[in-house]
Amino acid sequence: MERIKNILGLRVHNGHIADKFIMIFIRSLKLIVGKLDSIEGLCVEEEIGPLEKRVDILENEEDKAYGKALLLLAELRPGYKKYLPKKKKAPRFISDLLKRRIRLAFWVGMGNEIPFRELNAVLVKKLLEEKRYAYRRKKDEMGWYRGGLFVGKNLFDALEHLEKLEAVDRSRLTVSF
């Protein structure tokens, strides 16, 4: 697990599990935004070239790192063998969902808790609907309602409202991997 965590460089950023590639991309964007805010001004053509090169390099390295992580994960958890390519020379396309599941699997495998915002939205929505919450428009405002009471604009606001009324087992709402 430690090897895979080092390959991906996992950490929590703004309540989400992020890897080193996401962090590098965020730093690149902050650099551009910083230059946009500067007094000197900015020539967009000069700045876009280096950023595009950086993104291309990141994507190539990211695919290799996730490929290695997937191989190691398949050895540790047999359920991930189904994601391995059938042929050895087949290109390794790893979807964003699979990347997210890999990050979560290793994060939890290292003994860490899943951050609050990594709850499975489908399970939260299903729980809320069972408890008579509904997502609808009322007076030009979309959001979650319980009866006629507005409880929040997103799932997590509604979940917090439900937690005030009764105990909720969050371990049942996490992504199963």
Determine phi and psi for 127, rounding to 5 degrees: -60, -45
Least confident of 61-65, 91-95, 137-141: 91-95
pLDDT tens string 67-85:
888 888 888 888 888 888 8
Q: Identify the pLDDT of residue 56.
A: 63
Mean pLDDT of 153-168: 89
Do the beta carbons of residue 81 and residue 23 sit within 8 Å?
no
**Is the same domain home to 50 and 108?**
yes
Reported as a pLDDT band with limits 50, 70 and 90, residue 43 is low
Write the DSSP symbol of residue 38: S
* Alpha helices per DSSP H over the chain: 2-8, 20-37, 44-76, 96-109, 121-130, 155-165
Domain that holds residue 126: 121-173
Write the DSSP symbol of residue 166: S
Q: Which of 83, 115, 147 is the last residue of a domain?
A: 115
**Is the same domain home to 91 and 150?**
no
Distance CA 143, CA 125 (A): 12
Mean pLDDT of 31-39: 64
Residue predicted with more confidence, 16 or 129: 129
Residue predicted with more confidence, 129 or 61: 129
DSSP, collapsed to helix, strand or coil, labels residue 172 as helix
**Is the same domain home to 59 and 94?**
yes
pLDDT winner (highest mean) among 3-12, 96-105, 158-167: 158-167
Q: Identify the pLDDT of residue 137.
A: 82
**Is the same domain home to 106 and 130?**
no
pTM value? 0.59
